[in-house]
C-alpha cells in the first residue's frame, strides 16, 4: 500500500512538474494540413511565443467552436462566406494593418473582395477553385461536367466532400443554378440530387481524400484545387478539371476573433505568414494558390502550376456569399441529406 501511494505521488509529481513554460501563448485554429512543417517552430523561435495549434475540417466546425467558446483562438482561417457571416455577427476584430507590414506582399486583386470590402478584418492566405480530381487509369474519358459525379459507371468510385456549402453548391451549379441559390425549389432539387447520388458514392470525407486518391482508392473526387496539386505530386495518374458548368472560387483568409486572448501576438503571426519566404514555403507544401506574387516568384515552377493558377477568366467561377438568416435552411437541408444516406 505504502509503495503504491509513493508510486502515485511520484507519478503526479513528475506529471505536474513538466508543465512550466512562461512564454506568451498564441492559439491558432487552422484547416487540417494547411501549413508547412517547421513554420510554427520558426515563428515560436523568432518571437519567443508558444503556439497552441489546432485544426478544423470545415468552416462550419470552426464557426461552431468559436461561437460556443468564451475565450477562444487568436488566429483563425475562415473562408469568404464565413468571414462575411462572422463580420455580420460581430465576431471578428478589426486588424491593425500598421502591425501587419507584410500586407503589401498581397496582390491588389485579392484585396477588398466582396466578403470584406474594405479589408478591415481579413488578410488573404490562399485561394483556389473547386473541381474534380480524377485518376486517368480508372476512367474512360476526362470529366468535363459535374455529371461525372453522378455517372453510374463510376459506382463506388466517387468520393464526395463532407462539407455542406461545397457539396450543395456544386450540385446547384450542376442543375444550372447559382452557387448561392436560395429558392426552396432549387434547394429541394439539389437535396434530391445528392440523395440520388448516394448509392454511387464510395465515402464522404474532407481531409482523408488526399490519402485515398493518392492510394488509388477511387476514380473521382470532389476536391479543392490545392489538394489536387498535392495529390498530383504523389501520383502521376491524377488530373484535375474544373467542369464546364462552372464552379466555386474561394479565398481563405486569416482573421482574429473578437474573443481572442492575445491580439498583438495574433497580428505578429499574420504578418509572419505574409512574409514572402514563409508564404512560399506554405503554398509549396500545401499546394493551395498563394495571393502573394513575391511568394510565387520564390516558388519557381510551382508558382505557375496551371492546376493552382488557372486562367480564371475561362471559367464561370462564383464566390460563396453568406447565407445570412437563411443559414438555418441550409443547416436543416444538410442534416436531412446526411441523414438520408444509404436509406
Partner 1 sequence: MKKLSKAYLGLVLAFLYAPIVVLMVYSFNASKSRAVWQGFTFDWYKTLFANEAIMSSLYTTLLCGVLSALIATVIGSMAAYGLGKSRKASGGLVLSIAYIPMLNAEIVTGVSLMLLFTIMGLDLGFFTMLIAHITFGIPYVILTVLPKVRQIDWSLAAAAQDLGCTPWQSFWKIIFPELLPAIGTGFLLSLTMSIDDFIISFFTTGNGVSNLSITIYTMAKRGIKPEINALSTIMFTVIFVILIIANVGAVKREKDKKRSMRI
Partner 2 sequence: MKKTAFLIPLYVWTAVFVLFPLAIVVYYAFTRPGADGVVLSFESFARLSDPMYLGVLLKSFKVAIIATLICILCGYPVAYTLARSRSKYKLIIIILILLPMWMNFLLRTYSWLSILENTGLLNTILVKMGLPKVRFLYNEGAVILGTVYNYLPFMIMPIYLTLLKLDESLLEAAADLGANPVRAFLRVTLPFSIPGILSGVAMVFVPSVTTFVISQLMGGGKVPLIGDVIEQQFRVVNDWHFGSAISVIVMVIVLVFMYFINRGDVENNGNGGRILR
Residues that bind partner 2 (CB under 8 A): 58, 60-61, 63-64, 67-68, 156, 162, 164, 198, 201-205, 215-218, 331-332, 334-336, 338-343
Taking the C-alpha atoms of residue 124 and residue 112, their distance in angstroms, rounded to an integer, is 10
Identify what 240 binds: partner 1, partner 2, none; CB under 5 to 8 Å per kind: none
CA 118 to centroid of chain Cα atoms: 22
* DSSP-derived pairing of the beta strands 123-135 and 247-254: antiparallel
Does residue 5 belong to the site contacting partner 1 (CB under 8 A)? no
Identify what 60 binds: partner 1, partner 2, none; CB under 5 to 8 Å per kind: partner 2
- When binding is defined by CB under 8 A, the residue of 83, 132, 158, 206 that contacts partner 1 is 206
- In the complex, the smallest distance separating the C-beta of residue 217 from partner 2, rounded to whole angstroms, is 5
- When binding is defined by CB under 8 A, the residue of 17, 37, 45, 70 that contacts partner 1 is 70
Question: Which three-class secondary structure string do you get for the chain?
Answer: CHHHHHHHHHHHHHHHHCCCCCCEEEEEEEECCCCCCCHHHHHHHHHCEEEEEEEECCHHHHHHHHHHCCCCCCEECCEHHHHHHHHHCCCECCCCCCCCHHHHHECHHHCCCCCCCCCCCCEEEEEEEEEEEEECCCCCCCCCCHHHHHCHHHCCCEEEECCHHHHHHHHHHHCCCCCCCCCHHHHHHHHHHHHHHHHHEEEEECCCHHHHHHCCCCCEEEEEHHHHHHHHCCCCCEEEECCCCCEEEEEEEEECECCCCCHHHHHHHHHHHHCHHHHHHHHHHHCCECCEHHHHHHHHHHHHCCCCCCCHHHCCEECCCCCHHHHHHHHHHHHHHHHHCCC
- In the complex, the smallest distance separating the C-beta of residue 53 from partner 1, rounded to whole angstroms, is 7
Does residue 233 belong to the site contacting partner 1 (CB under 8 A)? no
Identify what 237 binds: partner 1, partner 2, none; CB under 5 to 8 Å per kind: none
CB of 3 or CB of 314, closer to partner 1 = 3
Identify what 63 binds: partner 2, partner 1, none; CB under 5 to 8 Å per kind: partner 2
Grid cell at residue 192: 434530391
CB of 236 or CB of 301, closer to partner 1 = 236
Taking the C-alpha atoms of residue 280 and residue 290, their distance in angstroms, rounded to an integer, is 8
CB of 16 or CB of 311, closer to partner 1 = 16
- In the complex, the smallest distance separating the C-beta of residue 33 from partner 1, rounded to whole angstroms, is 5
CB of 166 or CB of 245, closer to partner 1 = 166
Identify what 12 binds: partner 1, partner 2, none; CB under 5 to 8 Å per kind: partner 1
- In the complex, the smallest distance separating the C-beta of residue 42 from partner 1, rounded to whole angstroms, is 14
Q: What residues numbered 7-66 form the site for partner 1, per CB under 8 A?
A: 8, 11-12, 15-16, 18, 27, 32-33, 52-55, 57, 65
- In the complex, the smallest distance separating the C-beta of residue 132 from partner 1, rounded to whole angstroms, is 21
- In the complex, the smallest distance separating the C-beta of residue 309 from partner 2, rounded to whole angstroms, is 31
Residues that bind partner 1 (CB under 8 A): 1, 4, 8, 11-12, 15-16, 18, 27, 32-33, 52-55, 57, 65, 68-73, 205-208, 210-211, 214-216
Amino acid at each position: 500500500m505504502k509503495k503504491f501511494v509513493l508510486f502515485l505521488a511520484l507519478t503526479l509529481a513528475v506529471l505536474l512538474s513538466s508543465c512550466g513554460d512562461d512564454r506568451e501563448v498564441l492559439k491558432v485554429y487552422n484547416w487540417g494540413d494547411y501549413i508547412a512543417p517547421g513554420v510554427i517552430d520558426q515563428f515560436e523561435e523568432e518571437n519567443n511565443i508558444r503556439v497552441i495549434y489546432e485544426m478544423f475540417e470545415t468552416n462550419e466546425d470552426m464557426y461552431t467552436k468559436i461561437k460556443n467558446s468564451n475565450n477562444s483562438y487568436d488566429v483563425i482561417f475562415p473562408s469568404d462566406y464565413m468571414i462575411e457571416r462572422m463580420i455580420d455577427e460581430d465576431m471578428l476584430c478589426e486588424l491593425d494593418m500598421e502591425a501587419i507590414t507584410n500586407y503589401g506582399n498581397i496582390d491588389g486583386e485579392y484585396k477588398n473582395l466582396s466578403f470584406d470590402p474594405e479589408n478591415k478584418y481579413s488578410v488573404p492566405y490562399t485561394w483556389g477553385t473547386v473541381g474534380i480530381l480524377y485518376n486517368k487509369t480508372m476512367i474512360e474519358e476526362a470529366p468535363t461536367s459535374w455529371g461525372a459525379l453522378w455517372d453510374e459507371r463510376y459506382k463506388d468510385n466517387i468520393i464526395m466532400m463532407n462539407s455542406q456549402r461545397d457539396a450543395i453548391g456544386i450540385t446547384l451549379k450542376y442543375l444550372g443554378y447559382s452557387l448561392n441559390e436560395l429558392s426552396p425549389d432549387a434547394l429541394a432539387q439539389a437535396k434530391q440530387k445528392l440523395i440520388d447520388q448516394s448509392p454511387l458514392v464510395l465515402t464522404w470525407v474532407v481531409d482523408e481524400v488526399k490519402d485515398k486518391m493518392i492510394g488509388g482508392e477511387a476514380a473521382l473526387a470532389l476536391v479543392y484545387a490545392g489538394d489536387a496539386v498535392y495529390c498530383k505530386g504523389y501520383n502521376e495518374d491524377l488530373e484535375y478539371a474544373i467542369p464546364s458548368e462552372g464552379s466555386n472560387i474561394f479565398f481563405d483568409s486569416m482573421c482574429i476573433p473578437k474573443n481572442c486572448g492575445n491580439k498583438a501576438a495574433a497580428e505578429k503571426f499574420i504578418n509572419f505568414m505574409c512574409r514572402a519566404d514563409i508564404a512560399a514555403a506554405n503554398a509549396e507544401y500545401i499546394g493551395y494558390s498563394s495571393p502573394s506574387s513575391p511568394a510565387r516568384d520564390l516558388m519557381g515552377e510551382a508558382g505557375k502550376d496551371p492546376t493552382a493558377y488557372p486562367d480564371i477568366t475561362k471559367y464561370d467561377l462564383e464566390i460563396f456569399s453568406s447565407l445570412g438568416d437563411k443559414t438555418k435552411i441550409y443547416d436543416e437541408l444538410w442534416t436531412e441529406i446526411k441523414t438520408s444516406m444509404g436509406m
